[in-house]
Chain A
Amino acid sequence: QVQLVQSGGGVVQPGRSLRLSCAASGFNFSVYGMHWVRRAPGKGLEWLTVISYDGSYMFYADSVKGRFTVSRDNSKNTVYLQLDGLRVGDTAVYYCVKGYSRSIDFWGQGTLVTVSS
């Protein structure tokens, strides 16, 4: 069965960096695009970024463009999200999500990122 196991996250001061990881199993990772989505406390879901199956293209939401970087290692079945220049407003649960037919299907368990001084 499809599994997306996330790691990383935690508490960090404004301006600092974090890297989130998402290890995939149960499907042919190298043929699917992968997304990151977050939910801030008390708010709705916010799509952040997608990386194509081969890592050749990425697209970012304006809210994170220039600060967050998505990457993947198909040899390790893992997708990453590098979060730089973190702001208090980036506090949220971050999810990696598998792409499917230009939608998104299976979600990781989520990891909490708290940005606070």
Chain B
Amino acid sequence: DVVLTQTPLSSPVTLGQSASISCWSSQSLVHSDGNTYLSWLHQRPGQTPRLLIYKVSYRFSEVPDRFSGSGAGTDFTLKISRVEPDDVGVYSCMQSAQFPYTFGQGTKLEI
């Protein structure tokens, strides 16, 4: 199975500043169709996860452009610009290049 490792596991940030979360994969996430299947999810306290980014850098519907994803192969990053109070919670990367899909451990963003 593909192992995803996130750093940091906890990230204190200041409102208005930026935050970055890294996700390293044990294997390349490039699928045979040429796409790279790495997503980012956000779960606020007491809520269900929501999709932020898919295929490395595509923002999901209604996700503000403060959120951006980048990377290739096995090394990926989520950047949050101008952090707002609603950004608190746990951010997880997920690979769907191969079954079984797997998740990173999660990164807790704290204001």
A interface list, Cβ under 8 A from B: 35, 44-47, 50, 59-62, 95, 100-110
Contact = CB atoms under 8 A, between A and B. Distances in A.
B25 interface: no
Contacts of A108: 48
Interface residues of B, number: 25
Interface of B: 1, 31, 35, 37, 39, 41, 48-51, 54-55, 58, 60, 92, 94, 96, 99-106
B91 to A, nearest CB: 12
Contacts of B54: 100-103
Q: Is chain A's binding surface mostly helix, strand, loop or mixed?
A: strand
B78 to A, nearest CB: 14
B55, B94, B101 pick with most chain A CB within 10 angstroms = B101
A103 B50 CA distance: 11
A45 B37 contact: no
A31 to B, nearest CB: 17
Contacts of A46: 103
A47 B101 contact: yes
B48 A103 contact: no
A104 B51 contact: yes
B100 A103 contact: no
A103 B96 CA distance: 6
B100 A61 contact: yes
Given A44-B103, A47-B103, 14 more contacts: A35-B101, A44-B92, A45-B41, A45-B106, A47-B100, A47-B101, A47-B102, A100-B54, A101-B54, A103-B51, A103-B55, A105-B51, A105-B60, A107-B48
Contacts of B102: 47
Given A44-B105, A61-B100, A107 B37 contact: no
